[in-house]
């Protein structure tokens, strides 16, 4: 028996098909393009499911930071949005981009940045002094960062007599928080720079630049916020939870942009999403999609018990939880439900993927 066990152990080492820990594929921070320091995180290795393109985290601006999963079918739309952002901001291929906060790369995705030919760098330390040093030493063409941080750092440069030594005509992509309305004037005065206001999130990628949508599946719906002429942004059938004024006068950074993203208000009560019709043949699968969206995007989706399956297009209904008399809002595919349908595709791909780890067996 000992000989058999010895032979078995040798076979496992020499002919085993399941990977050892050393043989497992690795996706490092450098692989994701976010290999820079932040004062808000620790670095921890995790086992990431193969059905996710990568993991990220919410910013924590409105609640505790939570894990975000990004699926492979979503990547094409994120890359397209990234290209539109750079086109609108007149960022040229081959530009040197300085990110003041590395996780912002995840909203673009490294794949999209590489496809656009961008050269990315990060601060040596996450501080205003480090930002000014990087501006002086690296001379970036583009800076991506939170607007109040950038404004404060540039004002520091002015007060310290450093402004004349900084690069000029820098393009600033303000992201992560609502735009600091003093930044455009400060950037123009100190860097002769032009500011663009990016709105988006880790869950869905970039949504607008200067109040102009950069996705095809954006719907604006009347916000349930009482007494306000506000509209909520819905991405591919999923509400953002953010409401904005829509004004003909235009965005401060571009009069063609009508969504005033720097005047954001959290929607209350939030819309509920109910699936009324699906292209799927199984109501069980659409139920799994709803749970997947909750787990990786933090959005609650309910399935109508009488949901129509094998429909020609997806139909989602948005219901206001605070007003039973309000007219329901219907969003239909394929364009209006683009993101939702991408997550349906991801669920189908996952169900068709056999478990690659043979010790992972569920029994009823």
In terms of Cα–Cα distance, which of 176, 113, 178, 180 is closest to 153? 180
Per-residue pLDDT for 357 more than 70? no
**What pLDDT, on a 0 to 100 scale, did the predictor assign at position 320?**
79
User: pLDDT by residue (tens digit) across 297-319?
Assistant: 999 999 999 999 999 999 999 98
**What pLDDT, on a 0 to 100 scale, did the predictor assign at position 325?**
65
Instruction: Give the C-alpha separation, 142 to 262, whole Å.
Output: 21
User: pLDDT by residue (tens digit) across 193-246?
Assistant: 999 999 999 999 999 999 999 999 999 998 887 666 899 999 999 999 999 999
- Percentage of the chain beyond pLDDT 70 is 93
Query: Mean per-residue pLDDT for 32-51?
Result: 92
User: pLDDT by residue (tens digit) across 57-113?
Assistant: 987 766 788 899 999 999 999 999 999 999 999 999 999 999 999 999 999 999 999
Query: Mean per-residue pLDDT for 13-28?
Result: 86
Asked if residues 344 and 334 have their Cβ atoms less than 8 Å apart, the reply is: no
User: The whole model's pTM is what?
Assistant: 0.91
Domains contained in the chain, CATH given: 29-215 (3.40.50.12780), 271-351 (no CATH)
Q: Which residues is 295 bridged to in the sheet?
A: none
């Amino acid at each position: 028996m000992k000989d058999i066990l010895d032979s078995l152990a040798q076979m496992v080492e020499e002919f085993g098909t399941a990977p050892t820990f050393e043989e497992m594929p690795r996706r490092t921070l450098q692989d994701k393009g976010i290999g820079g320091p932040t004062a808000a995180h620790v670095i921890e290795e995790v086992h990431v499911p193969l059905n996710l393109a990568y993991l990220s985290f919410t910013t924590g601006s409105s609640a505790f930071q939570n894990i975000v999963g990004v699926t492979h079918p979503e990547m094409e739309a994120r890359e397209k949005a990234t290209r539109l952002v750079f086109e609108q901001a007149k960022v040229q291929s081959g530009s040197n981009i300085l990110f003041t906060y590395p996780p912002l790369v995840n909203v673009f995705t490294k794949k999209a940045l590489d496809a656009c030919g961008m050269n990315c760098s990060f601060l040596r330390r996450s501080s205003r002094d480090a930002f000014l040093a990087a501006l002086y030493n690296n001379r970036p063409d583009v800076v991506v960062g939170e607007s109040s941080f950038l404004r404060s750092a540039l004002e520091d440069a002015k007060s310290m007599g450093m402004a004349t030594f900084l690069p000029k005509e820098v393009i600033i992509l303000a992201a992560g928080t609502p735009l600091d309305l003093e930044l455009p004037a400060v950037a123009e005065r100190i860097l002769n720079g032009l500011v663009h206001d990016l709105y988006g999130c880790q869950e869905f990628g970039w949504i607008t630049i200067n109040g102009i949508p950069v996705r095809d599946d954006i719907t604006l719906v009347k916000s349930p916020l009482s007494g306000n002429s506000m509209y909520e942004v819905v991405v591919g059938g999923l509400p953002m939870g953010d409401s904005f004024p829509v004004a003909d006068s235009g965005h401060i950074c571009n009069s063609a942009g009508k969504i005033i993203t720097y005047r954001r208000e959290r929607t209350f009560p939030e819309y509920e999403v109910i699936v009324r019709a699906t292209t799927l043949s199984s109501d069980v699968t659409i139920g799994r999609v709803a749970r997947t969206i909750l787990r990786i995007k933090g959005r609650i989706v309910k399935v109508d018990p009488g949901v129509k399956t094998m429909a020609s297009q997806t139909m989602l209904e948005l219901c206001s939880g605070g007003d039973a008399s309000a007219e329901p809002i219907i969003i239909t595919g394929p364009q209006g439900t683009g993101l939702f349908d991408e997550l349906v595709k991801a669920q189908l791909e996952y169900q068709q993927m056999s478990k690659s780890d043979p010790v992972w067996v569920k029994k009823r």
